[in-house]
Structures are given as C-alpha cells and as structure tokens.
Structure 1
Amino acid sequence: MATFRPGDPAAVTDLFEQIAPRYDQLNDLLSLGLHRLWKRQALHWIAPRPGQQLLDLCCGTGDLALVLAAKVRPEGSVLGVDAAAAPLRLARQRAADQSWLPLRWLQADALATGLPAASADGAAMAYGLRNLADPAAGLAELRRLLRPGARAAVLDFNRPDPASAAGRRRAALQRLLLRRVVVPVASRAGLGEHYAYLEQSLERFPTGSEQEALARGAGFSHARHRPLAGGLMGLLELAA
C-alpha cells in the first residue's frame, strides 16, 4: 500500500493522479456541496472582469477555472496549471463541452511554473498551497506572476492555531470529522488512505497568521486570512 507523504512532490502528484476520477464527486459529497460556496467567496475577492488574464494554480479538474473563464470572456483568458496529468485530462474534457470559454491548460509545478513574471491580472489557488513542498516558495512564485495591484485568493483547509484554547477545540473537531466522516466515506470508494493524507498534511500547514506573514515576506502588499466554515476552512486574500 502506498504512503502519501506530505511535502513529497512525487507522492502528492501520485495521490492526485489516483483520486482524479472521483475527486469532484467526493468533494460534493464530503462538503455537502459547500465547497462551491467557499469558492464563490474566493471569486468575490478576486473580482474577475472581462479582458483579464487570470491563473488557476493547482487547478485540479478545472471547476474554478471554468467559472473564472466565464467572467473574463471574450477578450480575457484563464490558464489552469497543475502538476498532475490525470486531473488536467478531466479539466480539458470539461472545457471541451464549453468550447467558447477562453481556457488553456499547463502541466507544471506551482513552485516553478516557468511563466513570465507580472503576466497575470489575478489568480486563484484552491486546495493547493497545503500540498506544496514549500508553501512559502509557492506564495513567492504566485507573487512573481502577478502584476502590481493584482488580487489572488488561496482557499484551503484551515489549520487552527494550537496556541489558543479555541484553536485546539477546532483542531479536535477537524480531526474527528476527518477520521469519522471523511476517511470512512472515501474508503467506500477505495480511497481511504488517500484522504487520510488530509490530516497528515495539516500537521505541517501554516496557520492563518503564519500564512499572512509568509505572504508579506513574499512581497504581497495585502494579506488577510479569513476562517470559513467555523474555522475548518480558510481563505487567504492577497493583493500584489
């Protein structure tokens, strides 16, 4: 049985290659569809407009990129970037059904995309920062890609602050939900070990205040982390 080690790029890519066919279905089931609401909040911060050139880093199967593309058409465009091939294949298939949307796809590492500096008017990253080998380097690459004043939204699980009693209570609830709900449901699809990785990945993920500090260190002029879903999720709002 494979071991998916947080921070190991090859292992994390392999994980997403394997879960891609069931990823969207499980997202809807495990969040009761609320992930769509959280993504709308990320979109509200980015405020996409017609004509903009936007990025969706760690785009997965492309659901967020599709929504962004509908907002920037007809002159704008969206580039979805992911390290794993299987999610990108699904993203391309979904985009083919809406061929009028201005979408492109790139298989690349979010830590080193190879894209030109200051080439994007905004960016999204949903459930990607936690999976990078170095979140600080990921934020630095994100900042490099953005034009001055551009906005970015980073949506992910929230790691509650262990220094506070409230944070420890939220962390305990989060562990309970992951162990008693998320992993058992995923196990029915043969993906229990894959979703057990979530708890492991949170152990090394920066807290909200730490993400704000990392973002400022990367050169962002504005960085605010907002807890969502009672502190179980978090949205990092950024401005270059």
Structure 2
Amino acid sequence: MAASSHLSLRPLPGHNRPIFRSICRPVLCAADRQALFNRIAPVYDNLNDMLSLGQHRIWKRMAVSWSGAKEGDNVLDLCCGSGDLAFLLSEKVGPKGKVIGVDFSKEQLSVASSRQHLRSKACYNNIKWVEGSALDLPFSDCYFDAITMGYGLRNVIDFRTAMEGMYRVLKPGSKTSVLDFNKSTGTLATSIQEWMIDNVVVPVATGYGLEKEYKYLESSIQEFLTGTDLEKLALEAGFANAKHFEISGGLMGNLVATR
C-alpha cells in the first residue's frame, strides 16, 4: 500500500477545536508497519539495548511507575512488542493481578512468549499475549486499572482512535502512561535526535541488515505530536487531565493521562 500524506481536520463531538486525524500518515501504512515490526522482532531487544546504551530500561520503569499500576490490578500493555513493559507491570500487580499484552505483530508476540517461558517469577504467569490492533481493542468498557504504551502511539495510523480506545477501556480514575520519542519544540533536542538517528541508529541497524527499517524513525518522529498536542489529544478524547513529561534532555517523552 502506498503511503499518503493526506490529513483531515475533524472536530470531536462536543468540541469546537479540531485535532489532526491521520488517514494514512507518511512513511508507512498499517500493513507496512506490521510487516516492519515482524522483520525486526528477532533483533529488536538487542538493538534497543545497544542504541540506548541500556537507558530504555530506565524509561520503561518510569512509564510503568507513572501508570499507577498496583498489586492485584488488571492492566494492559498496548503495542507490547517483545514484552518489556508487560513484564514490569506483572511485577507491579503480582500473582493476583492480570496483565494483557496486545500487539499486531505475531513475531514480536512470539518473542515475548518465549521470554515469558524462560522466566521463573510466579508473577510472570499472569501475562496473556493477544494479537490485536490498538485501533480496535477487543475489551469491554472500563475494563483495566492501568494502561501502558511504549513506542506504539507514534506507529499507529490514527492517534485519536488509539487514544479514544484507551479512554474507553480504562476504569474511571485510572491512568494511561504513553512512552515514546519526544517531538521537541527546541532546536537543540531536535538536532541531537536527528544526529543520533543518522549517525548511530541507522548505521548500527545497517549492520543487522535493517537500514531501511530504521530509517523511518526520523520521519515518524517528525509526523508525531508535540507534548502539548498529546495533552490536548488526551483531553479531547475524554481524559480528565493529562501531563506530558520530557525525559533524557527532551529526547524522550511520557504522556500521563487520567480518565
């Protein structure tokens, strides 16, 4: 499917201020993105460690902490990939809690399941992996006590539908915590990000035969929303409050929204 750059402006019901709704954003469409994450699944974890110098583990712990997940909770890790956030959530909710990891990539879920079987903590038995779309969540309303989403929102083709879905399945008073690359409004952070992608990320990925797969990063960040826009998006989706935190000097960001 060819990528399209057409965007539509459509206000949410009851709101006069429209937000951007992507019909099919540049870079990749849904099927292409799914194929991309299937291809990179075997080396995804190794690349994350290498490219972030292990810092992604700190950022993910921060995201889980911001979600407010606690012992006994029923929680969702959306766009779970190989399961890093889901495993951290399972430690928070304990053996009496429940974690559901959802992703549209069969290969990523296969890696996550394999990792689960190699781990011995009893709490990891509470994780269930589900193949599904962030734009069509197969859960009833007000079902989860917390939601995390790590590096997933930037890769869906419709930000608004994804945010509305998270709002729908969250219980009142519960939080969603969305970690991703930060689209900075500052020139310094933006320049550092671009330099890192061009001079570190792509060359390293090229060594794994994945140059084309990782070149999409820069464009996907450019097409992402700023922290302020993410806060507005969450509020327009129905969340009671939303706060975006810049971390690692503005290279990364985490949206925390309360239903």
What TM-score do you get using the length of structure 2 for normalisation? 0.87
Asked if 1:30 corresponds to 2:51, the answer is yes
The residue correspondences of 1:218-233 to structure 2 (distance < 5 A) are 218-233=237-252
Residue 83, structure 1, aligned to residue 107, structure 2: no
C-alpha separation in 2, matches of 1:160 and 1:69:
32
| DSSP 3-state at the match of 1:27 | helix
Counterpart for residue 117 of structure 1: 141
The counterpart of 1:74, out of the listed 95, 120, 134, is 95
Residues 1:199 and 2:224 aligned together: no
Deviation at 1:36, TM superposition (A): 0.6
Residues 5 and 89 from structure 1, CA distance in 2 versus in 1: closer, same or farther, beyond 3 angstroms? farther
> SS of the counterpart of 2:214?
helix
The letter of the residue matching 1:204 is E
Runs of 4+ aligned residues of structure 1 deviating over 4 Å after TM superposition are 2-5
RMSD: 1.6
1:153 correspondence with 2:174? no
- 1:138 is matched with which residue? 162
Contact conserved, 2:61 with 2:88, CA < 8 A, in 1? no
Matching residue of 2:12:
none
Partners of 1:155 and 1:230 in 2: how far apart? Answer: 14
Determine if contact 1:6/1:12 at 8 Å carries over to the other structure.
no
The aligned counterpart of 1:164 is none
Matching residue of 2:14: none
Mapping of residues 175-194 of structure 1, within 5 Å? 175-194=194-213
1:40-119 paired onto structure 2 within 5 Å: 40-98=61-119, 100=122, 101=124, 102-119=126-143
Higher mean C-alpha displacement, 69-78 vs 92-101:
92-101
Distance (Å, rounded) in 1 between the aligned partners of 2:196 and 2:211 = 14
Using the TM superposition, name which of 20-29 and 111-120 deviates more.
111-120
Q: C-alpha separation between the residues in 2 aligned to 1:7 and 1:138?
A: 17
Q: Secondary structure at the match of 1:80?
A: strand
How big is each residue's C-alpha offset from its partner over 1:123-166, in whole Å with a ceiling of 9 and x where there is no partner?
100000000001111111111110001111100000112xxxxx
The number of residue pairs the alignment matches comes to: 234
Unaligned runs of 5+ in 2: 4-24
What stretches of structure 1 of length at least 5 have no aligned partner? 162-166
Aligned identity (percent) is 42
Task: Measure, in 1, the Cα distance between the counterparts of 2:180 and 2:195.
Answer: 18
